[in-house]
Amino acid sequence: MNKQEKIEILQDLVKIDSQNNHEAQVAHYLQNLFEAHNIKATISEYAPDRANLVAEIGNPSSDQVLAFAGHLDTVSVGDRDLWTYPPLAAEIHDSKLYGRGSADMKSGLAAMVIAMIELNENVAPLKGRIRFIGTVGEENGAMGSRDLTIDGIADDLSGMVLGEPTSGRVVYAHNGSLNYTVSSTGKSVHSSMPEQGVNALTNLVQFVNAEATLFDDVASSPEVGPLVHSVTIFHSGDQVNSIPGSATLQGNIRPIPEFDNQAVIDRLNQAVDQLNEAPNMDLKLTINYSFKPVISQADSPFVQQIKHISDSVLGSEAPLAVIHGATDASEYTKSANQFPLVVLGAGSWNAAHRIDENVALDNYLAVLEIYKQIALKVLG
């Protein structure tokens, strides 16, 4: 496959609108690409227009199984008028491809699939198996990796590479991620008589104020850094001259190994329970989803070998890194089978989820080569 074809595949993927949904269109595109090169790929439907994709190459009798894993969805494009170039046009400017998902993580998907195609066409057979796993919903619940893990997709893995954007460098650890909702129930009355009602909005603001310092005593993790927490969504009221009888907020927290997801949940419950002791206060906490922190052993042969490959292909040494996001790894590592994993993909982590998201094409092509070298050397 020539360079232009590889770039066009990435452009095709970015042009498919899979904002928090519609992953089946990406799955079918990749399935057709695999099968055009004599690789069987299986689609499993999650919901209408939503599907996971699994494909495998190599020696089917080998017990050495390396997973190339990623997600098929993207976050929302946001306000299109703020983009320099249309977010789903996959335009190339100054050797960078712009568009939603270009970094997170359709460049990783494209590089993994093309690497597998080229490895499969190599004269020398692989000594193990490579399994591609493409999932729905990583950006909002990780339903695909959760269901596939329950079905056993990770039970025979020897190792995994997740193609989230790291500029081709090796990430060996990341925070967890926990999303929650707090709802406030009050009593709606005319705004001229607020004393006869209960303002659900102002009650909920008390939680916002408490949350601001709720984790101040949590020490930073030596591996993944501080526990990060934010209230990000707030809804209340539907008419300016009525006291709101209901209000909801949502927040996101990035747990650390030393103060894990359960510790976070316990602290949130304590805050809500304490606030509910006040008169006319009725708050309810709901945990929407909970990803645990993931850490591989930095000095393990798997991590060190992949770091050596990355350094060699990119032409310079770089330290192992951590990210403060979460990945599908939090679900895959729930398997009883324990295996090493790294996060490594094209594009900068800082470009993800942003206006004018982009990936440098040289980095995309370099990561494709890194994936091929990983398959040949790790499985060898």
What letters, b where the CB count within 10 A reaches 16 and e where it falls short, cover 32-50?
A: ebbeeeebebebbebeeeb
Reply yes or no on whether the pLDDT at 373 is more than 90.
Answer: yes
How does DSSP assign 155-208, residue by residue? Answer: TT-SEEEE---STT--EEEE--EEEEEEEEE-B--BTT-GGGSB-HHHHHHHHH
Please give the Cα distance from 375 to 380 (Å, whole number). Answer: 8
Sole residue written with tokens 């996101």: 252
Q: Is 138 a catalytic residue?
A: yes
Which residue is catalytic, options 23, 56, 73, 357?
73
pLDDT band per the 50, 70, 90 thresholds, residue 44: very high
Of 146, 63, 155, 126, which Cα lies nearest the Cα of 373? 126
Least confident of 156-165, 289-298, 335-344: 289-298
In tens, the pLDDT along 291-333 reads 889 999 999 999 999 999 999 999 999 999 998 888 999 999 9
Please give the Cα distance from 358 to 44 (Å, whole number). Answer: 30
Phi/psi at 184 (5° precision):
-120, 130
- Do residues 326 and 353 make contact, with C-beta atoms less than 8 angstroms apart? no
Instruction: Read off the amino acid at residue 355.
Output: I
Q: Looking at the whole model, is its pTM more than 0.75?
A: yes
- The structure tokens listed for 333 are 């590592």
Which residue is catalytic, options 23, 56, 104, 138?
138
Instruction: Read off the amino acid at residue 291.
Output: F
Point out which residues pair with 252 in neighbouring strands.
Answer: 179, 230
Q: Is 17 a catalytic residue?
A: no
What is the sign, positive or negative, of the torsion defined by CA atoms of 376, 114, 318, 260?
Answer: negative
Of 61, 51, 55, 56, which Cα lies nearest the Cα of 26? 51
Average pLDDT, the chain: 96
- The structure tokens listed for 29 are 């595109």
Residue 272, phi-psi category: left (phi > 0), alpha (psi -120 to 50), beta (remainder): alpha
pLDDT band per the 50, 70, 90 thresholds, residue 240: very high
Domains of the chain as residue ranges with CATH? 3-174+293-378 (3.40.630.10), 177-291 (3.30.70.360)
Please give the Cα distance from 139 to 326 (Å, whole number). Answer: 9
Please give the Cα distance from 250 to 233 (Å, whole number). Answer: 5
pLDDT band per the 50, 70, 90 thresholds, residue 56: very high
